[in-house]
Amino acid sequence: MGTAETIHPRPFAERRGRWAAKNTRPGAELGRVTRLEEAKLIFGEAALQPIIDAALTADDLALEVLEDFSAMRGRTGRKMLDKALDEGIDAVEDAPQSLRRLFAELDSPPDWVDIAQLRRGSIAYLRGAPVVSFALICAVTAATERAFGLTRPILFTGRMSGELLALRARETTRWILAAARPDGMLRQGGGFKLTVRVRMLHAMTRRALSESPHWDWDDWGMPLADADGMYAISFDFSQAVLDALSAVGVRWSRQECEDIYALWRYVGHVIGVPDHLLPAGPEQGRQLAAMYLATDPGPDDQCRRAYHARVRYASGMGAESRNAFPDLAVRLLAPERRLQLLYGFTRYWSGDEVADALAVPDTAWKRVPRLLRPVMRLVELGRRLGLVDDERLVEVTIRRLEKASAPTTRGEPTLVPTESVDAAISKRGR
């Protein structure tokens, strides 16, 4: 088989036309962009424009790699990616230039990456045991499903129902844990490798969605757009978790907050979000998220159904469900009670406006999270006195998340881009 360069006589710039944005409206007139004039008065047109533009752009380099892989026989491309991740790009014979450019980028971290800071960020992020798992279930799920633009690709592909919902919930938790655990984002770390695979899965999903005649370009913009990746990094996996844990008594220094954002900024870089859309720290992260949400339409019925399906799964309801509750809570609380508790956490952390938009029940369960404050204050006091070790707390969090996301079958895949995923998405809606 020759090199990948000899397979395609035309340059990628011409070949990618099939997956370029097919909208007839400019970014500012997409259906997903609302209240724009009001947002301009708050943030300024110059600050908003890059985010509006990013609703129509995505990761072209990963798509180019995927295109070159698709021209190869069998699973050659997948094997090349695995070999490059494990042994380095120089170990890959006949690697296409696109793959070489991708790894030239991945193997040369930006100047702002500080490996010691990434480790500190991991420890700070995960030391909130025993409530980190609840923050990922409730705060992150609500942050995701409240965003109309971010949810379109997931909902369109049907990965929020039935067995696919359960699989996706486990996959996502395993990825978050791999990326966030100490040293996970080192070049040979499991989090780094899995994040690169997620990047390729995003490219595969975007390509497949772009081929569907039912993808609404004028309403939804680019599938898995840069703007959505920015929001996920700036809010979903960082700010939403920090705010939730802070509300129940976890305390971080300013440096720890900077470290957490540095970790997720690097995850965003590796997953393909443009650097100019990645937050340099908490203040910029909050600003980017606020600008994104200011023009987002908010949740629709599909978002609400997805939110409730995810929380029901996390409560342990259903044969395929897993839960992140301590064993004692599982013994004391029936699945329906656990569901109501998760609803209470969501309303407490996300606030009435977001909870109402997601149709979260407003019950006395929203007062339960306050009971965690004395417990977390004791943990924080123990940390200050040197009686509680941060890394031990991290180990508790990791064990809880590993249990909640453990595969249900031997060899269950974790966010691995495969031809079957591509074909299933392409077929949907045809």
Is the pLDDT confidence value at 222 over 80? yes
Decide: 415 and 180 in contact? Cβ < 8 Å.
Answer: no
Of 219, 371, 231, 367, nearest in space to 300 by CA: 219
Is the pLDDT confidence value at 201 over 90? yes
Average pLDDT, the chain: 89
Of 313, 319, 49, nearest in space to 169 by CA: 313
Q: Is residue 100 part of a domain?
A: no
Is the pLDDT confidence value at 422 over 90? no
At residue 17, the pLDDT reads 59
Q: Is residue 74 part of a domain?
A: no
Q: How far is CA 259 from the centre of its chain?
A: 18
Of the candidate ranges 3-12, 21-30, 195-204, the one whose mean pLDDT is the lowest: 3-12
30-86, pLDDT tens digit by residue?
A: 999 999 999 999 999 999 999 999 999 999 999 999 999 988 887 889 999 999 999
At residue 4, the pLDDT reads 39
Q: Is residue 258 part of a domain?
A: yes
> In angstroms, rounded to a whole number, what is the distance separating the alpha carbons of residues 416 and 391?
30
> In angstroms, rounded to a whole number, what is the distance separating the alpha carbons of residues 365 and 347?
9
116-139, pLDDT tens digit by residue?
A: 999 999 999 999 987 999 999 999
At residue 20, the pLDDT reads 77
User: Average pLDDT for residues 386-392, to the nearest whole number?
Assistant: 94
Is the pLDDT confidence value at 2 over 90? no
* pLDDT grade for 19, boundaries at 50, 70 and 90: low
- Gap between the terminal Cα atoms of the chain: 33
Q: Is residue 342 part of a domain?
A: yes
> In angstroms, rounded to a whole number, what is the distance separating the alpha carbons of residues 133 and 113?
27
User: Average pLDDT for residues 289-301, to the nearest whole number?
Assistant: 97
Q: Is residue 70 part of a domain?
A: no
At residue 58, the pLDDT reads 94
User: Average pLDDT for residues 307-317, to the nearest whole number?
Assistant: 89
At residue 331, the pLDDT reads 83
Distances (CA, A) of 136 to 158, 236, 415: 22, 9, 18
12-16-20 Cα angle (round to 5): 150
Specify the DSSP element, H or E, that contains 271: helix 254-271
The answer to whether the peptide bond before residue 130 is cis (omega within 30 degrees of 0) is: yes
Q: Is residue 75 part of a domain?
A: no
Task: Name the DSSP letter for residue 31.
Answer: T
Q: Is residue 45 part of a domain?
A: no
Q: Is residue 239 part of a domain?
A: yes
At residue 15, the pLDDT reads 54
Of 143, 225, 208, nearest in space to 176 by CA: 143
Number of domains, the chain: 1
Categorise residue 93: left if φ over 0, alpha if ψ from -120 to 50, beta otherwise: beta
User: Average pLDDT for residues 381-410, to the nearest whole number?
Assistant: 90
At residue 162, the pLDDT reads 57
Q: Is the model more confident about 208 or about 112?
A: 112
230-275, pLDDT tens digit by residue?
A: 999 999 999 999 999 999 999 999 999 999 999 999 999 999 999 9
Check: pTM over 0.75? Answer yes or no: yes
User: Average pLDDT for residues 185-205, to the nearest whole number?
Assistant: 96
324-362, pLDDT tens digit by residue?
A: 677 777 788 888 999 999 999 999 999 999 999 999 999
Is the pLDDT confidence value at 9 over 50? no
143-191, pLDDT tens digit by residue?
A: 999 999 999 998 887 765 656 777 888 899 999 999 999 999 999 999 9
Provide the token pair at 201: 């899965």
* pLDDT grade for 16, boundaries at 50, 70 and 90: low
* pLDDT grade for 6, boundaries at 50, 70 and 90: very low
For residue 176, what are the domain limits? 115-427
Question: Any idea which residue has 């975007």 for tokens?
Answer: 206
